[in-house]
Amino acid sequence: ARVVVLLSGTGSLCAALLAATDDPGYPATVVAVGSDRDAEGLEHARRRGIATFTCRLRDHADRTAWDAALAAAIAEHRPDLVVSAGFMKIVGSAVLARFGGRLVNTHPALLPAFPGAHAVRDALAAGVEVTGSTVHLVDAGIDTGPVLAQREVPVLPEDDEARLHERIKTVERKLLVDTVARLVTGHAGNDTEEPR
């Protein structure tokens, strides 16, 4: 299956997915990696000779034009699945019309808890002892689409945001790799861990 990854940052989740595709038995290949900026994460693709694209909001008249351009840039690679892995923009109706239902996002919290761009900081501030990672289908809301998979991650007393986020990312990487494989082989069953 053809996967396009969208990212905005370091791209460690994208790197994990790329590493998984090194296994010929993995049922997906990453055909392109796109970003809304010249993100360092694009380097993971460049190093492998995988196509990259950048779709900057400021290069377009408004969000609608940006959204349409992003949809076209993704479509050029004929993806079966689009994976938002640390992509920090909210996609619009053009992207959703084209890829809704096969566009997933990974979020560093147990949605619906702590949606938005500061999930790890918010979980720490809330003083929860357990947070986690969620892979969900993207819908028109912010981190509101149907949950496909979740994994719990403990919060430790001496955690700061960076430490907790790194622990979550370790879990996120595996959850994303496993969920993408399940989705493209058609067993998109629900993989949420039974609450302990």
Q: Which residues bind ligand GRF (CB under 6 A)?
A: 7, 9-14, 41, 85-86, 106-108, 169, 172
Give the C-alpha distances (Å, rounded to integers) separating 117 from 46, 108, 123: 27, 9, 12
- Chain position whose Cβ is nearest to ligand GRF: 86
The C-alpha atoms of residue 121 and residue 162 are separated, in whole angstroms, by 9
Catalytic residue among 44, 107, 136, 165: 107
Active site residue 107: yes
Q: Which residue's CB is nearer to ligand GRF, number 10 or number 29?
A: 10
The C-alpha atoms of residue 22 and residue 29 are separated, in whole angstroms, by 9
Is 90 annotated in some ligand binding site?
Answer: yes
Q: How far is the CB of 143 from ligand GRF (least distance, A)?
A: 9
Is 105 annotated in some ligand binding site?
Answer: yes
Is 184 annotated in some ligand binding site?
Answer: no
| End-to-end Cα spacing for the chain | 34
Q: Which residue's CB is nearer to ligand GRF, number 72 or number 144?
A: 144
Q: How far is the CB of 148 from ligand GRF (least distance, A)?
A: 14
Q: How far is the CB of 92 from ligand GRF (least distance, A)?
A: 18
The C-alpha atoms of residue 80 and residue 5 are separated, in whole angstroms, by 11
H/E/C letters for each residue in 11-55?
CHHHHHHHHHHCCCCCCCEEEEEEECCCCCCHHHHHCCCCEEEEC
Is 182 annotated in some ligand binding site?
Answer: no
3-state secondary structure of 169: helix
Q: Which residue's CB is nearer to ligand GRF, number 65 or number 121?
A: 121
Tokens of 127: 């003083």
Q: Which residue's CB is nearer to ligand GRF, number 9 or number 27?
A: 9
Is 142 annotated in some ligand binding site?
Answer: no
CB 52 within 8 A of CB 46: yes
- As annotated, the active-site residues are 107
Binding residues: 63, 88-91, 105
Binding residues for (6R)-10-formyltetrahydrofolate: 63, 88-91, 105
